[in-house]
Amino acid sequence: MTTPRFHGVIPPVVTPRTADGALDLPSLATLIEYLIAGGVHGLFVLGSSGEVAFLTDAERRTVIEEAVRVAAGRIPIVVGLNEMTPPRMLEQLQLVEAAGADAVVATAPFYARPSAAEIEAHFRILSAATTLPVFAYDVPVRVYNKLSVEMLVRLGSEGVIAGVKDSSGDDVAFRRLVLANRAAGSPLVLFTGHEVVADGALLWGADGIVPGLGNVDPRRYVEMYNASQNAEWDRVRDLQEDLCSLFEIVFQAQGVSGEAAGLGAFKTALVRLGIIATNHMSPPVPPLDTTTTDLINAIVDRAGLLVR
């Protein structure tokens, strides 16, 4: 069986910022090198973990160009397209193509509240406008629509989309998608966005993982994926449990937004590891306070990442 080009562990790369709010390109470069050294199979920039909703078009272009430059063809660069309507999505697509990325991960439209038929037409419009592989990004918490299994398999069978990045949190629907895709001859490459039940998704037949926590501990996710390919399921479970313990960093902040608690925790852990310079977020999201930072640092220290 031929391994697809897009497979394995493709972490959604965080976007570092300096203390004064500018993009921190040296930290981004260091993070990318850390991820590549950890054995990841690709990089997903401008996803939710990359704070795409907060970045200007100029910042988005800069992040893509820097990722492409630093990766230098060693692994593919996948870029998130997150826009309200197809015309705005097509403008973002031009930016991605010009920067030299390898594929796009596109959400359904939002704000306009499209029908199921309009969502399908959206993906067809996008696919017809590019030669890049298009992955459908199933993230209903952001766009308020769940992509249907039937539509995804149909679009895959027709060559409209290359795969799916599932961040729905709906494990029943994802397993249905795996089975339906297999019955159709596996036209889609399927990724889960789960950090803590990735073992289950791999057991069901996912082709890879897009874990935000993979910014912090890429090696264990890669080890878990490799173990799954060898059907070493006890090893997969043990690695997943280690990662579940590390994932506790996202539950340490209280009374803040999901972005501050989750992405802020990833950034705080990366500062602890010496990978990025600050845990600053895009405004108006504040960095985590000292008490929370101390709690996160203790979890990171217990995980043994400083000596891995």
Largest CA distance in the chain: 52
23 belongs to a structural domain: yes
For residue 95, what are the domain limits?
8-232
Statement: residue 176 has pLDDT above 80: yes
Tens-place pLDDT, residues 58-76: 999 999 999 999 999 999 9
Feature table: binding site: 210
Catalytic position from the list 34, 111, 165, 267: 165
267 belongs to a structural domain: no
CATH number at residue 132: 3.20.20.70
253 belongs to a structural domain: no
pLDDT at 3: 60
Instruction: Reply yes or no on whether 111 is catalytic.
Output: no
277 belongs to a structural domain: no
Cross-strand partners of 43: 77
304 belongs to a structural domain: no
137 belongs to a structural domain: yes
Tens-place pLDDT, residues 78-116: 999 999 999 999 999 999 999 999 999 999 999 988 999
pLDDT at 280: 96
For residues 26 and 28, what is the distance between their CA atoms, to the nearest angstrom?
5
pLDDT at 5: 84
Amino acid at 249: I
pLDDT confidence band for 306 (50 / 70 / 90):
confident
Cross-strand partners of 209: 9, 192
The average confidence (pLDDT) of the chain is: 96
Feature table: binding site for pyruvate: 210
pLDDT confidence band for 308 (50 / 70 / 90):
very low
Catalytic position from the list 137, 221, 225, 267: 137
What is the domain count for the chain?
1
Tens-place pLDDT, residues 186-230: 999 999 999 999 999 999 999 999 999 999 999 999 999 999 999
144: left (phi over 0), alpha (psi -120 to 50) or beta: left
pTM score, whole prediction: 0.96
- The mean pLDDT of 259-282, rounded to a whole number, is 96
Instruction: Reply yes or no on whether 165 is catalytic.
Output: yes
Statement: residue 243 has pLDDT above 50: yes
For residues 158 and 162, what is the distance between their CA atoms, to the nearest angstrom?
10
178 belongs to a structural domain: yes
202 belongs to a structural domain: yes
Two tokens, residue 207: 């082709």
On whether the CB atoms of residues 13 and 226 are closer than 8 A, the answer is no
- Do strands 77-81 and 189-192 pair parallel, antiparallel, or not at all (unpaired)? unpaired
